[in-house]
Amino acid sequence: MQSTSCAMPTVWLIGDVEHPDFIESMSLLRATAQVTSVANSRQAAALLARAGSPPELVVLAASRPGVIHTADVQQLRRAAPLTGVVALLGSWCEGETRSGRPAAGVGRIYWYDFPGWWRRQLAAWADGHCPEWARPEGGQERDSQSSRFDFVTDAPPQQGLVVLDTTCWETAEALGDVLRPAGFATVWTQFDRHRPQVRGATAGIWEGRQLDGREAERLAAFCRRLAGDGAPVVALADFPRRDRVERARQAGAAVVLGKPWLNDDLVATLQLVVDQRGRTAAADVARAA
């Protein structure tokens, strides 16, 4: 059992915490939370009996289906009814047929979504707001609903212009509805078909499936088109495995998220890569001066 102490949220980790799928998530948690690694739910229950107070959050790391047992979750719930519980799912848990029926009150977050989700929860916690893990039903469901989409190509918006490369208009419409309230203008493009000339892009969002066939080439071409503006690209893919994430990064994507996406996490991730781009540009200017 390993722990660190600081003025941060208290998090207990149970399960396959050293699995390669979880390297980024574990590194982020250990840097931003008061973390205790626990071998199993029985050790967690024993620790709860000795501890003065339960943790704010328990993260159940499951690299494969069947790692998380309902009886273990129920035991944790009885021992610490106010503690939030989320399941961190690896590549082999992708899809509803593999991840199985969710335990009551346990939010499920795939490994590629967790860093963005955690940063958003940490910001809420730091501001004194209620993070999703503390809500009664374990947080937020995935949502990619759309209503209508507008092209915006003139006056620069508050956050900048995001170029969308999606497989269909409906996805671009949904993304536009998500990004517009956050201050981003959007313009739709499509590889080999609808390709307007766009200059001054702030970022790009590319949408595909599993990066099979020509998809990796399409993503690489999109990243090259935006490279002149120094615009980072967020790639959206269907339940991406680690090899697909690496393939997307090799093609030029800054971040890979899964579909269906979480609206808040997508916006937060986009703002993060845009901010990182701004800091990099500022550092380059300072070095050149």
If you average pLDDT over every residue of the chain, what do you get? 80
CATH no. for 2-134: 3.40.50.2300
- In the DSSP assignment, the letter for residue 133 is G
pLDDT tens string 103-118: 667 888 989 889 989 9
Concatenate the DSSP letters of all residues of 7-52 into one string.
Answer: SS-EEEEEE-TTSGGGHHHHHHHHHHSEEEEESSHHHHHHHHHHSS
Cα–Cα distance, 203 to 89 (Å, whole number): 28
SS3 content of the chain, % helix, strand, coil (to 5): 40, 20, 40
Nearest to 32 by CA among 135, 125, 138: 125
Distance of CA 5 to the CA centre of its chain: 26
Please answer whether residues 171 and 238 qualify as being in contact, where contact means their C-beta atoms are separated by less than 8 angstroms.
no
| Domains of the chain by residue range | 2-134, 160-285
* Tens-place pLDDT, residues 217-238: 999 999 998 998 899 999 999 8
Confidence of residue 191 (pLDDT cuts 50, 70, 90): low
160-285 placed in CATH 3.40.50.1820: no
> In the prediction, which pLDDT does 112 show?
87
- Tell me if 2-134 shares its fold with 160-285: yes
Examine the pLDDT at 194 and tell me if it is beyond 80: no
Going across the sheet that includes 184-189, the strands are 184-189, 160-165, 203-207, 233-238, 255-259
pLDDT at 13: 93
Angle between helices 215-227 and 242-251 (to 10 degrees): 40
* Structure-model confidence comparison of residues 195 and 9, the more confident one: 9
